[in-house]
A and B are shown apart, each in its own frame.
Chain A
Amino acid sequence: MMTEASTTFEKLDLDCGVALSPVEVAYETYGALNAEKTNAILVLHAFSGDAHAGGEGGWWENMIGPGKAFDTHQYFVICSNVLGGCRGTTGPSSINPETGCPWAMSFPAITIADMVRLQKMLIDQLGIARLLAVVGGSMGGMQALEWAVTYPEQVAAALPIAATARHSAQQIAFNEVGRQAIMADPDWNGGNYYGGKPPARGLAVARMVGHITYMSDQSMREKFGRRLRAPDQFEVESYLQYRGSKFVDRFDANSYLYITRAMDSFDLTQRGALPSLFEGIRTRFLVISFTSDWLYPSYQSLEIVSALRSRNCDVAYCNLTSHYGHDAFLVEVEEQTELLRGFLASTFREASRKA
């Protein structure tokens, strides 16, 4: 059972001090909430994802559904588009009610914590007091961490996959290249391109860089090698151009700027040393990294795991072998399914026992 919905909140207090009003949230749900409301799983999408996680064409369609890792016969799965997004949730392309025009670059600065605060409002509205799990890869994993640290009592389990507690200089650097590519496109026009020609070339280049960082040397070698698409064009060039141009059809350049900023500014350690943030947290953790992921390397996951273990928190950690690079969290279905299914089942058993 799949439901597409959206809801509007009167206002959202942002970290930057601005109260954003109103705020619309687009979300989808799969499966059914049980009578005790103990089987809800919040799935958090990565940078370029959206609320369409499950069902046909969903970004995690092979993980969500009957009999899959997130078994919709058992669990109620929720996924919402993030704040600042362009797929139904309020973002820079939304209309500013005061001016009647799109916010564009006058949209207030947003953070990962703001995104999570909005998700919390949605979960409250759905009448769910405690989530069985918050789970996501990449930026979704950063949100899962934010959830666990900010609302530990509302989360039985947190599953940050291929994630980090803070971006490294390298991660910020790649995001900056993307932002500069967009802003260097004359069509960007200071962010005011709505109703006109969007900065398609800049956004496409940004996406091409992104795709390189999501793959690994080995996966690119295996997928493209030095094969030619045309006498003067390598397969890999054509692939990146295709992905870049497809991205332009579904993503807003200003959202790109705002969301990458939110990722770059995310740093849990600004609130205190990681171990101190996890002090007394009863949330169970399953942290997963991938051997070939050089964008979110395993040392970043281990930093989180070490901090959790130093406070004797309940944490499982696995560095899955994969040659797909950062993309592995979307691609390595079988191994993740095995891990997630067992972990969720035992969490559900224990949560039900305590309830």
Chain B
Amino acid sequence: MKIIREIYGRSDYAIIGALVEARTRVLDLGCGEGELLAWLKENKAVDGRGVELTGARVQRAIARGVSVYQGDLESALDDYPDRAFDYVILSQTLQETRDPRRVLRGMLRIGRRAIVAFPNFGHWRVRLAHLWTGRAPKTGLFPYDWYDSPNIHFLTVLDFEALAQKENWRVEHRIFLAGRRQENAMLNPPVLIFLAGRRQVRLLPNLMGEVAVFLVSNGAVKS
């Protein structure tokens, strides 16, 4: 497949693919055109569902054979029964949700595990941009002006860890990525553009990591 590109020995899908066990039930929130779900279905035999707001993307996802619900992900969570999924994936959208804690709680209500990927506001480039310009930071990862940004919450790796601790979620995996995105990534879906072409960061993740991927489960409930 053209859209699977091996970078630093790992394909884009492999990042999430490695976290998802085969033959499980997966819900992808903000699934775009359903590429990830289609890949997981094909390669990991998962039973996949998606939620996506944009009609054109929903159409292409359904045309791809993926069962996608057209709706707002924040309200969509409420309909599903408890423990309906093994994994609930939220990529690059947490910082855009109105009530991120409610979203995360909802994900861990309907799923045994949640996979959350978000841009790290604690990255050194963001810190420098803020320090030097004295204005709302604009970087490759946060390219927007303050008035047209879809991001309404700014969180760092440490912020997420703190919330996880407070909510008693168990962080089972953390992956931090950095490096430039591919410029010619038009073919890739948003989730993969987001993860693609980055290298893994192991040292000082809150400073060096641009993207954080967390696999969390609900510590309070035995799974």
Contacts and interface: CB of A to CB of B under 8 A. Distances in A.
B80 interface: yes
A343 B65 contact: yes
Contact of B69 (A317, A338, A342, A343): A317
A341 B63 contact: yes
A265 interface: no
A312 B69 contact: no
Given A318-B62, A342-B62, A309 B69 contact: yes
B79 interface: yes
Interface in B21-57: 47, 49, 55
A317 B47 CA distance: 17
Given A306-B79, A338-B59, A314 B67 contact: yes
A33 interface: no
A173 B63 CA distance: 37
B15 to A, nearest CB: 25
A96 interface: no
B84 interface: yes
Nearest to A284: B67
A305 B69 contact: yes
B96 to A, nearest CB: 21
Contacts, number: 62
A318 B59 contact: yes
Interface residues of A, number: 26
Contacts of A302: 71
A312 B63 contact: no
Contact of A338 (B63, B66, B71, B81): B63
Nearest to B83: A312
B62 A286 contact: yes
A346 B67 CA distance: 10
A320 B55 contact: yes
Interface string B151-173: 00000000000000000000000
B62 A312 contact: no
A311 B63 contact: no
Interface in B46-102: 47, 49, 55, 58-60, 62-71, 76, 79-81, 84
A316 B79 contact: no
Given A312-B84, A320-B55, A345 B70 contact: no
A321 interface: yes
A284 B66 CA distance: 11
Contacts of A343: 62-63, 65
Contacts of B69: 305, 309, 315-317
Query: When A and B form their complex, which 10 residue pairs have the shortest distance between CB atoms, in order from nearest?
Result: A346-B65, A342-B63, A309-B79, A316-B67, A312-B84, A338-B63, A316-B62, A317-B69, A318-B58, A339-B62
14 contacts: A286-B62, A312-B80, A312-B84, A315-B67, A316-B68, A316-B69, A317-B69, A319-B70, A335-B59, A341-B63, A342-B63, A343-B62, A343-B65, A345-B65
Interface of A: 284, 286, 302, 305-306, 309-312, 314-321, 335, 338-339, 341-343, 345-346, 349
Interface of B: 47, 49, 55, 58-60, 62-71, 76, 79-81, 84
Given A311-B81, A318-B68, 14 more contacts: A312-B80, A312-B81, A312-B84, A314-B49, A315-B67, A316-B66, A316-B67, A317-B58, A319-B55, A335-B59, A343-B63, A346-B64, A346-B65, A349-B65
